[in-house]
Amino acid sequence: MQDSPAFLDSGRPDVPDLVVPRGITPFHLPRRPVRGRLIRLGALADALLTRHDNEPVVTHLAGEALALVAALASALKFRGSFSLQAKGDGPVGMLLADCTDTGALRGYARADSDRLASLLAEEPAPSAASLLGSGFLAFTVDQGPDTDRYQGIVAITGETLPEMALHYFETSEQLRCTVRLACARTDAGWRASALILEKVAGDGGVDPDLNAAAGEESWRAATILAGTVTDDELLDETLTPERLLYRLFHTEGVAADRPRALAYGCRCSRQRLSGILEGFATDDLDHMAVGGDIVMTCEFCNCAFHFPRNELRGQQAGHAD
């Protein structure tokens, strides 16, 4: 009996099959130029963040990134994935989070342990700026191989992740918004949340009698009210999204729209990784093998995939004419 192909191997470690039905709560202030989203990752945050054994400050930053990318992706009309990537010269050299149009969420942070230990010795509660250092922040919409990717890139500017995101929107998208992020380890595990407001451009859905000055005042009032929310409120799972939104915006009027789900969304597979390996030259595959196996680890879910070297053909070296 022939051995099964590598991509049919069922030895992949288990990953959570987890859906948060009310992970995204869109809302708007009726007849005002304000809309927004409240993100509650719930148990999904712990499932995603504990795949890697990072220092709490790194996990906190990764949790904020997951909540932020879920909030931003849910405002777009697209099919595919929306990602946030921060790459700098600090102890956290890479921060990546992405969310699909269906709410499948994944992310990771890559840190240099020695440099991080040195930073924590000097700064026990380092800012996002200290962790990331100088570099760039990119937002990318990828709708598949048949569509051009859209990507916006700016230099990392600001002390916190919300400040960095706002700098991007102000310089690249000319979009007025306010961002609140929260992430912490609670008694129930890691939790992460986001509250984002956007100023609606034009007059769609806005009171026709609301002049520019009144619209600006409504926006200013909404941002002030959003600024009063605490991390505890954002992360409190006993406080429903609707109740929190009413607590914040009842003086302006607020309407919650239909909630949307978020899910554990790593998209790695043996078949995909096997296809990548088959593209290597046979000599390269030989050098990659250890004890007869080639091991590839998904950076998102931290699952290790083992491929027997003798099941991979690879590419034969070309011959000169």
pLDDT at residue 123 greater than cutoff 80: yes
Place of tokens 């994935």: 81
Looking at every residue in the chain, the average pLDDT score rounds to: 87
Q: Which residues pair with 83 in a beta bridge?
A: 98, 140
Domains, in order of start, for the chain: 19-264 (3.55.30.10), 268-311 (3.90.1280.10)
Residue 115 vs residue 304, higher pLDDT: 115
Across 101-105, 112-116, 268-272, least confident range: 268-272
Distance in angstroms (rounded) separating the CA atoms of residues 34 and 220: 10
Residues 6+ apart with CB under 8 A from 243: none
Tokens read off for 36: 């927004």
Query: Strand runs (DSSP E) across the chain, as ranges?
Result: 19-29, 34-40, 81-88, 92-100, 104-111, 135-142, 150-155, 177-186, 189-199, 255-256, 260-264, 293-297, 304-308
How does residue 8 score in pLDDT terms, banded at 50, 70 and 90?
A: very low
Residue-wise pLDDT for 224-273, tens only, equals 999 999 999 999 999 999 999 999 999 988 999 999 999 998 777 677 77
DSSP string, 301-318: T--EEEEEGGG---BPPP
pLDDT at residue 39 greater than cutoff 80: yes
Distance in angstroms (rounded) separating the CA atoms of residues 294 and 65: 32
Residue 304 to residues 216, 235, 276, Cα–Cα distance (Å):
52, 32, 15
